[in-house]
Structure 1
Amino acid sequence: MSSAAPRTAGQDRLWSVDEHLEDILAAVRPLEPIDLQLLDALGCVLVEDVTVPLSLPPFDNSSMDGYAVRVADVAGVSEEFPAVLDVVGDVAAGEADLVRVGPGQAARIMTGAPLPPGAETVVPVEWTDGGLGEGPASGMRARSLAPEGAEGQVHVYRQAEARAHVRAKGSDVKAGDRALEAGTVLGPPQIALLAAIGRGTVRVRPRPRVVVVSTGSELVQPGEELGSGQIYDSNSFALTAAARDAGAIAYRVGAVADDADTLRSTIEDQLVRADLMVTTGGVSVGAYDVVKEALSHVGDEDVAGSGIEFRKLAMQPGKPQGFGSIGPDHIPLLALPGNPVSSYVSFELFVRPAIRALMGLGDVHRPRTRATLTTAKALTSPKGRRQFLRGTYADGSVTPVGGAGSHLIAALAHADALIVVPEEVASVEPGAEVEVVLLG
């Protein structure tokens, strides 16, 4: 990641959403690749193409439990005129010493077992008497050569074409094929493929470690009793969950009281396990906006160029924002507002792309689409601010949920989209087409 500090232009400038995001992404670099065991690589981004060292499957094998036979020995058979074949042995999955199937012979075979030499097809066990030696009462056509060592007989009532119920060697992937491309996010199916071709480790960019710190003397942990003037700390839970949903390994730090020294000490202690720091609260212009006070000194004596810039953005909600780097390793830090909706919207717009950039993903943004606004009355928006309203999206339409207030957590819980109202638009009529950010 880069140690470049964000550009500055004075505290009074009103920054656009795009400018702020551009600065964040310019300062964040993908994490260095490492080799991880397969399960530890789940959710990580592959940094190299993976070539198949051996074909899958590596040998012809049966897709059914049944009997491996020659095609000629079951040609034209029926319920009335079955073939009677001598069973010369069993072939189980993992079998190395295979019996040979000759004329008039069959080998019991299990699903996944190698096709034995001499056999040309597999007859499912349901097409036979299961080796019980009990055929139809009359008209049986027998072709047994009765070799020494035969293990009974099987009656086959349906014919099978050549290589029926046989998984051919290399029918999944062939040796030398490219199994996975660099840039692939490793999910369970990709982990399964890597294991199937014998890879025990894989080179990836690790999932970023994100530390979330909420601030406010009024905050109480869920499960505890509220006192007068207190509220439960929801932001740290929301942001930690959102960071994990974005692909990060996220750590939640309990709410820190409005004391600059305590907050500074907490942040410095957490840097050892952080690739990205996120704070919420204390970034406005009030008397107790402790994040500004605390972060203005973090790392000053250790790292030249470190520091956090606090800005006003032309957006609603989420006008006050902070961004920069701290500590000897120039860990990026994003300081978000304290109101719940402001905090969450800010995460979606700025923190989530930063996490995805650290992962090395090519596309770091949520998908966007156009939708028809479904509402009873026009939406209003402050001119000069880009507004992000919560909504529900379905079948090309979007409906606002709740109001514009930045404290409306219940409405946020029912939203799956953000309705974007551009800076130059003050009113949006019902039925108008709007831009929508899809949240999952």
Structure 2
Amino acid sequence: MAGKRTLNSGNLESLGAAVLAELLMEVSSGNAVIQRRLRLAIAAAEGASEAAQEVRKRLAAIARSGTYVDARKRKALLAELHSQLQAISGPIAAADPGLAMDLLVRFLQLGDGVLDRCSDSTGAVIGVFRQAAASLGPIASAAQLEPARLAEQVCDLLTDNGYGQFDQLIPAVAGALGEPGLRQLEQACRERGAIDGHVALLQIAECRGDVDAYLAQFSASQLSWPNTAADVANHLLAAGRPEQALAVLDGAARGATTWHSPEWDLSRIAVLDVLGRGEEAQQLRWESFRSTLSIPRLRDYLQRLEAFTDAEAEERAFLVAEEHAMPLLALEFLVAWPALPRAERFVIEHWQEWDGEAFEVFGPAAERLSADHPLAAMVLLRAMVVFALSMGRAKRYRHAAEYLQTCEQLSARIHHWQGIESQGRFMDRLREAFGMKWSFWQLIDRSI
């Protein structure tokens, strides 16, 4: 049970309106974002039209602004956008869906302009506009908007889709458009060259469940690309047309051989299974695994083997991985399977070859190996340290210092170094080679 001093809505409510009002005035002082949210809440209490007037003013101010929003200012911008969107899709939509619809379209129209002047490395800002686009269909349905008008508004928004914020807009509004609206939207998309008509027409066909219209959007040349063929074949298979799906895949077979496509493999496997050609599907699963070292593909393959043959096949798979042309892919497979003793042996056999740039693979691998295979974990951690120092990646120095601390701890559990230099010798070489990296060694000295 929460204590009486725990910050929750119940305890705050017990303070009373007057105390809370004073606290809100105090915490909002000098904070424009909170002040605007409070004004919006006051307006919403007066009614939908008053709240809409407040939202309209804020959207106009955002549209006029030319200030560049860097990473430091992004949090405030996100709070502002979320606040306006919540007001539109919440109390205003509940009281007056038609009014909310007009405001939501205006909000969405801000997309390109805001993203033009914003640092959005995290994707959080574009995420707000995608969230807003997803809510357009339900609000349009609640507003009982005419399909023709909605189709026109959607078409206008797609014209200003410079950052892909409206890539899923058509599926989001398909229910509200209905068949008449989809037909009008299709006509508008064909007429407007500014829109990526191909993608829009594909989505319209998909929303209608019209696989022939979907297929008609691709030329013979486009269908020769394995990934495109796989996409079309999946639609044909879902429509109960596996023979036609196989024919489309066969048309891209040469490309699938030249540029290996896991998507083409998966689609063909599914089609072969439906057609009752299980042995061919099984062979393709194995060949696909040999190329990609895909764990789902291997598990799928092993599950379909006769009893007592899967252990032998698993052993063959390990050998395939260890001989793969991409050692990094092999390491990732062996650790994730998991086959940690094999991963340890593989790491140590290639200890001089590892490129520490692959920290997104080495970090998790070292963590998994550290409990029972400390020497292999150390090899990977050292590789990341050497990479950070040799390439001067100052942002990774703190991580590198932590890796060296971990190596020191691991070294106490290593009794057979298998030809790999001790931690003391490694540190001596590191200081000799990178002694001028003062900021790094300061981190190390502080951690001792």
TM-score range, shorter chain: under 0.3
Q: State the TM-score, normalizing by the size of structure 1.
A: 0.18
TM-score of the aligned structures, taking structure 2 as reference length: 0.18
Whose relative contact order is higher, 1 or 2, with alpha carbons under 8 Å and at least 6 apart?
Answer: 1
The structure where strand makes up a greater share of residues is 1
Q: Which is helix-richer, 1 or 2? A: 2
